Amino acid sequence: MSKLRVCSFSLTLDGFGAGPDQSLEHPLGVNGQEMMEWVFATRFWRRHQGEENGETGIDNAKAEASFENIGAWIMGRNMFGPVRGPWPDESWKGWWGEEPPYHVPTYVLTHHPRAPLKMKGGTEFRFVTEGIHAALDQAKKAAGSLDVRLGGGVSTVRQYLQAGLVDEIHLALSPIFFGKGEHLFAGIDMRAMGYECAERVAGERATHITLRKRR
């Protein structure tokens, strides 16, 4: 059965999944890249940047696993880019260049319509204005028997959590504090919603925690 999964979602010790003031210069908010240091050293990351070497330990294995069995993605507009309001034109095509790393249909939540955007490598961004349930329905149809990966940002993950739609969450807990930014779990009673810790393992630069919803 197809699942909705959050994978390799970086989180600080004080619970923030993004820093404040996202912009073109700071796509994860100010200081946001600090919580991603665990993945930057991995062979998985460096291979996707066209580089060689990289670490092959637990952090690398978790990063690789996050792309396995994925047939579609969902992301919020903030993850797609810093453009706000109605699309001024179609020049913005994401943070990732001409060949994004997704290689499957990728559904972008937005309030403003835009035509589908086909990119190299099989990624096609499809812009959904009807809300989170419509995006999930479309993504599951596209994914077939494979899983749907919920990519973020924080607001998008929170919406799906609050609706009880997320089956599994893999968090990469980085040993840093932000103090401010976008908090992942504020106001969400994960215990009452049936989530429990199914796995925890210490990586080289992050602690990996997997939460699953009891069926």
Q: Which CATH number fits domain 4-17+30-82+98-213: 3.40.430.10, 1.10.10.60, 3.30.43.10, 3.40.50.10490?
A: 3.40.430.10
CA distance 102 to 162: 25
- Per-residue pLDDT, averaged over 185-205, amounts to 96
Least confident window among 42-56, 60-74, 96-110: 42-56
pLDDT of residue 46: 93
**What residue ranges in 91-150 does DSSP mark as E strands?**
105-109, 117-118, 124-128, 147-150
pLDDT of residue 55: 94
Pick the more confident residue, 20 or 174: 174
| Mean pLDDT taken over the chain | 94
pLDDT of residue 30: 87
The DSSP line for 35-93 is GGHHHHTBHHHHHHTT----B-SHHHHHHHHTTTTEEEEEEEHHHH-S--SS-S-S---
Residue 110 has pLDDT above 90, yes or no: yes
Least confident window among 74-78, 81-85, 136-140, 189-193: 81-85
**Helix 154-162 crosses helix 132-143 at what angle (to 10 degrees)?**
90
CB of 104 closer than 8 Å to CB of 73: yes
pTM to 2 decimals? Answer: 0.94
CA distance 23 to 78: 10
Residue 130 has pLDDT above 80, yes or no: yes
Residue 34 has pLDDT above 90, yes or no: yes
pLDDT of residue 75: 97
CA distance 64 to 3: 18
> How confident is residue 24, by pLDDT bands cut at 50, 70 and 90?
confident
CA distance 135 to 115: 15
Least confident window among 91-95, 106-110, 136-140, 168-172: 91-95
CA distance 56 to 96: 24
- Per-residue pLDDT, averaged over 144-148, amounts to 98
pLDDT of residue 56: 95
The domain segmentation of the chain, as residue ranges, is 4-17+30-82+98-213
